[in-house]
Amino acid sequence: MKHLLALAASLLIFCAPPCRGDEYAAERQRMVKQVQADAAEISYGVLSPQVVAAMAKVERHRFVPFWLRSLAYHNRPLPIGHGQTISQPFVVALMTDLMRLKAGDRVLEVGTGSGYQAAILAGIAASVYSIEIVEPLGKEAGALLKSLGYRNVQTRVGDGYYGWPEAAPFNAIIVTAAASHVPPPLIKQLKPGGRMVIPLGTQFMTQSLMLVEKNPDGSVTSQQILPVAFVPLTGGH
Amino acid sequence: MKSAPRPPLYAISLLSACVLAYEVLLTRLFGIVLWHHFAYMIISAAMLGYGASGTALTLLKEKIAPHSGAAFVVATTALAVLMPAAFWLAQQVPFNPLELLWDRSQLNKLLAVYLLMMLPFFCGGLGIGLMFAQFGKQSSRVYACDILGAGLGSLGVIGALFLLPPPQVLAALTALALLAASIAVAELKLRPGWLMELFLGLAVLAAVALPPIPVHLSAYKDLSQALNIVGARMVEERNSPLGQITVVENTQVPLRYAPGMSLNATSEPPPQLGVYVDGNGPSPLTKFDGNLAPLGYLDQLTSALPYHLLNRPRVLVLGAGAGSDVLQALYHGSPAIDAVELDRNVIDLVGNRFRDYAGDLYGLPNVHVHEAEARGFVEASSAHYDLVQLALLDSFATSSAGLYGLSENYLYTVEAMQSYLDRLAPGGMLSVTRWLALPPRDALKLFATAVTALERNGVTDPAKRLVMIRGWKTVTLLVKNGDFTLHDIGAIKRFCRTRSFDMAYYPGMRTIDGNRYNRLAQPYFHEGAVALLGPQRQAFIDQYKFHIEPATDDRPHFFRFFKWEAAAELFALREQGGMALFDWSYPRLSRSSAFRCRSPAFMSSNWPALVWARPCWPRIDPITCMPPRSSPIWRCTSSRDANHPWSG
């Protein structure tokens, strides 16, 4: 009963006041354009149309506390409680794009957070499995995603270290939870040819994005991508 | 009321002791609640409070003078009330330092915290100032008692923090301030006489009944994050002036700490307890039963490299913490390990409280634990080691956020490195592991420090004595007492290849070999290392967009990477992911300084200086808190010429 009440209160916080149509559509479009422009400015290049479409469709304001809704489409991370944040849209777009998802793909997300990243993934992939280690956050996000009609997202609360073996292998894995190392079981659950994306940094700033690719022979290679057009060296070197 | 003929010297001493003890205590409390560099803010808040009280006293002198004795008692009582109240209120302000550069409203919240923390010092300063004003002819005695009290308070609070948790020390200070008010009533012979008994009673009441003010850590600190995880529970907490140590256990989702473990690793760490200092960490306390096999993960870290170049080395671990590096040495067969740890509470946790869990690690016959400051231990020691291992103790989060940017650190200076090198046996190695930051910061600064240390030690060709490798999250630098051999380099290549670590530098390395496994846009680390060994080293350091000049004992800010010259560019890139490139302590410092300069109290207490200095002040950009590039201050403080990349 206590859990139900807490859940109801959480839903109230995240969904209230009642949304009147899509009053944020214009802001969302502006945000997407800015994200596209930012991606073009760095050496990264052009975001895939699927990512752009998903970013344009998913209502980010639904995933932030209602008192922060006016900031929902600013290109910045926002606090969502429990010491967690909803990632900066630009970083979400880059991470999703790096996964190179296809329509039939199966994706694992470790660190559900607000559920926004899962919603973006659900707009592109066939199925999304998302694990959250912070119980209230996981329950809130799961209920929210369900209420918003994301039927291809499955969530659960628990330890993400061992992934989701029942649903493995995955075409792509995203590890948004801070970890000192990449859990070996997650690499095992990645399909050959699959891609894993890990943001490195802290809640309010992503230092770099690590892309781990599993080769057909099972070996892995990685690359670290600086999500910013910044050259540390000046001329002459 | 007639002026008292004799100043209340005991009360002044006690008041002064309370104020200084409170200041020291706040640096601890804010170090726990937020991050350590807020200690600097407390010092400036105290200075502001004192300065503002001087101004208030000057302006209200005529009105207060006839009642200076009573005013002193009121100020002392207000101090007693405000010490806990201001701290409690400051914790109610929803200030999140990590949002400072995203959210301008955080600046107002920081200002609110700042002003709240200023109030007790205003009262303390007012009390002392009143006595100076009232007893001008005896000011030497007043001053002597003020200074004596301040000294005793500063020392006393350190002792108290060994015995009591910080919130209880705060309650004790409240009681002492009320005691000071009581003594003042007696010394000044104020009426009614029962006031003395009243304050004495209140002091006793505060000492025995005042509940400790709860200390709420920022939700973004490592400890808060760990406690949010399902199944987490705190199993031990200890306090000392060195820090608040918290041990967290989670049997449901155990801690598995293996910083930067190779992506090729198939084993996972055994269960661990998380040891947090002031909410930062963790330093893992690993379950160990004498069986070395579960420790295999320690061979999958970049820090394991020296063990593949040295055969069963005698090891000195500096900053042993909860024993991770000691376990690594044990795993690799070290016959003698000297482990140096500063905090006796940490040693006691491993050696006594969790001895069975840790497998009596610090009681093993080949492990010798020394309670000492690492640098001091090295300077005093005459022993020689095959391997000196400088542990990676700070957390990735605080390090990557640049939260140590303002702190002094004497472990990573040129002189420190010279001392470590002096302790190496022939062929021995110094191994230092740091978090990998992109673009490179720590690693290149460390490399530059090592090059300078070798040069100062008389090594003619440092390039032959240095090796640096990088994983996806950590970088390890080796400095050898002797030249690296072809055999060494072969072993390094094998170590890196089997773990998919990249080589950043070894003597004779080709650039093409520097970016194979964890690929970067460019082999930044190798390019940087080569530049730092070349003739254009200083030019490279000067032109690099982060501060990588080696730290020295005179300027021991190893973790300072921020250059003001790069701030505008970084801030412009913040929405494109550039926020992580800031050392956040610097923007925070600048912001707190900026509003300190704008605050009415500062203006009131420093107006003569402001009027005098105004013509020299540069215009400050309200966003970056920097003078614009066109400001004369850049021309004054920079030796760069007009052709420099930053000058345009």
ipTM: 0.85
Q: What is the pLDDT of residues B501-539, one digit of tens each?
A: 999 999 999 988 889 999 998 899 999 999 999 999 999
B220 vs A: CB within 8 A: yes
User: Has A87 been annotated as catalytic?
Assistant: yes
| Range 305-344 of B in CB contact (< 8 A) with A | none
- Among A91, A187, A222, the residue with its CB nearest the CB of B577 is A91
Judged by CB atoms closer than 8 Å, whether chains meet at A230 and B396 is answered as no
How far apart CA B205 and CA B303 sit, in angstroms, is: 55
Which of A73, A97, A204 has the most B C-beta neighbours within 10 Å, making it the best mutation to test the interface with B? A204
Contacts of A80 in chain B (CB under 8 A): none
Q: Which pLDDT band, with edges at 50, 70 and 90, does B318 fall under?
A: very high
Distances from the Cα of B558 to the Cαs of A150, B350, B469, B521, in angstroms? Answer: 49, 29, 20, 26
Exposure string for B34-66, b = 16+ CB within 10 A, e = fewer: bbbbbbbbbebbbbbbbbbbbbbbeeeeeebee
Across the interface, whether the CB atoms of B517 and A208 are under 8 A apart is answered no
Q: What are the chain B neighbours of A178 within 8 Å (beta carbons)?
A: 225, 396-397
Q: Which of A82, A157, A204 is nearest residue B102 as measured by Cβ atoms?
A: A204
Amino acid B145 reads: C
User: What pLDDT score was predicted for residue B569?
Assistant: 73
- Phi–psi pair at A195, nearest 5 degrees: -130, 140
CA distance A160 to B348: 33
Pick from A205, A219, A222, A225 the residue to mutate for testing the B interface (most B CBs within 10 Å): A205
CA dist., res. B479 & res. B599, Å (int): 50
- The pLDDT, as a whole number, for residue B578 is 60
A204 and B472 within 8 Å at the Cβ level: the answer is: no
Read off the pLDDT of residues A65-90 as tens digits, 9 standing for 90 and up: 999 999 999 988 999 998 889 999 99
Q: How confident is the model at residue B396, as a pLDDT?
A: 55
pLDDT > 70: what percent of chain B?
A: 85
CB contact under 8 A, A203 and B569: no
Torsion, Cα of B43, B44, B49, B51 (10° steps)? 120
- What 3-state class would DSSP assign to B390? strand
Whether the pLDDT of residue B191 is over 50: the answer is yes
Residue to test with chain B: of A98, A155, A206, A230, most B Cβ within 10 A: A230
Tell me: pLDDT of B397 over 70. no
Q: Where are the alpha helices (DSSP H) in B474-584?
A: 486-499, 524-533, 537-543, 564-572
Q: Is B587 on the interface with A (CB under 8 A)?
A: no
CATH number of A2-16+24-225: 3.40.50.150
Nearest to A82 among B228, B263, B440 (CB): B228
Q: How many residues does chain B have?
A: 648
- Mean model confidence pLDDT for chain A: 86
Q: Do B261 and A180 touch (CB under 8 A)?
A: yes
A contact test, residue of B438, B582, B641, B646 with most A CBs within 10 A: B438
User: Can you give the pLDDT at residue B102?
Assistant: 81
Distance CA B53, CA B64 (A): 13
What pLDDT does A218 receive? 86
The CA distance from A139 to A131, in Å, is 10
Tell me how far apart the alpha carbons of residues B445 and B402 are, in angstroms, rounded to a whole number: 14
**Residue B260 in contact with partner chain A when CB distance is under 8 A:** yes
Q: Any CB–CB contact under 8 A between B599 and chain A?
A: no
Q: What is the pLDDT of residues B108-122, one digit of tens each?
A: 999 999 999 999 999
Q: What is the CA radius of gyration of chain A?
A: 17
CA B631, B636, B640, B643 torsion-angle sign = positive
pLDDT of residue B621: 35
B575 interaction partners in chain A (CB closer than 8 Å): 34, 38, 75-76, 88, 90
CB contact under 8 A, A90 and B576: yes
Please report which confidence band the pLDDT of residue A18 belongs to, taking 50, 70 and 90 as the band edges: very low
Q: What is the pLDDT of residue B584?
A: 52
For B237-279, the pLDDT digits (tens) are 998 888 899 999 998 888 999 999 999 999 889 999 999 989 9
The lowest-confidence range among A42-46, A115-119, B480-484, B487-491 is: A42-46
pTM flag (> 0.90): no
H/E stretch holding B504 reads: strand B502-505
B544 and A CB contact within 8 Å: yes
User: What confidence tens digit (pLDDT) does each residue in B422-451 have?
Assistant: 999 999 999 999 999 888 988 999 999 999
Residues of B in contact with A236 (CB under 8 A): 536, 539, 543
Nearest Cα to B450, choosing from B410, B418, B419? B418
Where are the strands (E) in A58-189, listed by range?
78-81, 84-86, 106-110, 127-132, 153-157, 170-175
Cα nearest neighbour of A74 on chain B:
B575
Please count the residue pairs, one from chain A and one from chain B, whose beta carbons lie less than 8 angstroms apart: 176
Residue B391, pLDDT > 50, answer: yes
Residues A201, B400: C-beta atoms closer than 8 Å: yes
Token representation of residue A215: 């080769």
How much of chain B, in percent, has pLDDT values that exceed 90?
62
The residue annotated as part of the active site, out of A87, A114, A127, A130, is A87
> Residue A166 above 70 pLDDT?
yes
Interchain contact, B265 vs A184, CB within 8 Å: yes
Q: Rg of chain B over CA atoms, in angstroms? A: 28
DSSP 3-state helix, strand, coil percentages of chain B (rounded to 5)?
55, 10, 35
Interchain CB distance below 8 Å, A232 and B546: yes
Task: Give the distance between the most distant pair of CA atoms in chain A.
Answer: 67
Rounded to an integer, the average pLDDT of B112-141 is 93
Name which of B236, B260, B233, B262 is nearest B249 in CA terms.
B233
Contact B400 A79 (CB under 8 A): no
**What is residue A228's predicted lDDT score, i.e. its pLDDT?**
62
B219 in contact with A at a CB cutoff of 8 Å?
yes
Chain B: nearest CA to A17, how far in angstroms?
23
Which residues of B fall within a CB distance of 8 Å from A197?
A: none
Each domain of chain A, given as residue ranges in start order, spans 2-16+24-225
- Using the beta-carbon criterion (under 8 Å), do B220 and A212 form an inter-chain contact? no
Q: Among A202, A224, A236, whose Cβ lies nearest the Cβ of B472?
A: A224
* B226 chain-A contacts, CB cut-off 8 A: none
Residue A225 pLDDT grade (very low, low, confident, very high; cuts 50, 70, 90): confident
Rounded to a whole number, what is the distance in Å from the CA of B626 to chain A's nearest CA?
20
* Cis peptide bond upstream of A17, omega within 30: yes
Question: DSSP H helical segments within B401-559, as ranges?
Answer: 414-422, 442-456, 486-499, 524-533, 537-543
Q: Is the alpha carbon torsion for B183, B188, B191, B193 positive or negative?
A: positive
Tokens of B601: 């109290």
Name the minimum distance, in Å, from the CA of A79 to any CA of chain B: 9
| Closest residue in A to B471 (Cα–Cα) | A222
Asked whether residue B101 carries a pLDDT value surpassing 80, the answer given is: no
What are the phi and psi torsion angles at B224 (to 5°)?
-60, -40
Question: Residues B10-31: what's their mean pLDDT?
Answer: 94
Dump pLDDT digits (tens) for A178-215. Answer: 778 999 999 999 999 999 999 887 777 777 889 999 99
User: Does the structure show a pLDDT above 60 at A233?
Assistant: no
- B241 preceded by cis ω (within 30°)? no
CA dist., res. B615 & res. A141, Å (int): 56
Q: What is the DSSP letter of B353?
A: I
Q: Which residues from chain B sit within 8 angstroms of residue A42, using beta carbons?
A: 576-577
Q: Answer yes or no: are the C-beta atoms of B581 and B561 closer than 8 Å.
A: no
**Cα angle vertex B357, ends B355, B361, to 5°?**
50
Q: What pLDDT, in 10s, does the model give residues B575-584?
A: 565 656 665 5
Distances B199 to A203, B182, B265, B562 between C-alpha atoms, Å: 48, 5, 66, 50
Cα–Cα dist B161/B147, whole Å: 21
* pLDDT for res B74: 95
What is the pLDDT confidence band of residue A41, given thresholds at 50, 70 and 90? confident
For B124-152, what is the mean pLDDT? 93
Residue B126's nearest CA partner among B606, B605, B610, B607 is B605
> Is some CB atom of chain A closer than 8 A to the CB atom of B371?
no
| pLDDT surpassing 60 at residue B405 | no
CB A223 within 8 A of CB A216: no
Is A19 a residue whose pLDDT tops 50? no
Question: Which residues, in sequence order, are bridge partners of residue B244?
Answer: B239
CB contact under 8 A, B576 and A229: yes
pLDDT of A109 over the 50 cut: yes
Whether the per-residue pLDDT at B403 is higher than 60: the answer is: no
Give the pLDDT band of residue B40 (cuts 50, 70, 90).
confident
Q: Is B575 on the interface with A (CB under 8 A)?
A: yes
CB contact under 8 A, A223 and B99: no
Nearest CB partner across the interface for B219, out of A76, A82, A230: A82
The maximal CA–CA distance of chain B, rounded, in angstroms, is 89
**Chain B residues with beta carbon closer than 8 angstroms to that of A38:** 575-576
Q: Is the Cβ pair A206, B580 closer than 8 Å?
A: yes
What phi, psi does B565 have (nearest 5°)?
-60, -30
Residue partners of B472: CB distance under 8 A and separation at least 6: A182, A210, A222, A224, B260, B263, B436, B518
Query: Does the distance separating the beta carbons of A202 and B397 come in below 8 Å?
Result: yes
Query: How crowded is the C-beta side of A173, counted as CA atoms within 13 Å?
Result: 33
Report how far apart, in Å, the C-alpha atoms of B432 and of each of B114, B390, B504, B563 are: 38, 5, 14, 24
pLDDT score of B587 more than 60 = no
Q: Characterize the bridge pairing of strands B280-286 and B272-277.
A: antiparallel
Q: Contact A236/B228, CB-based, under 8 Å?
A: no
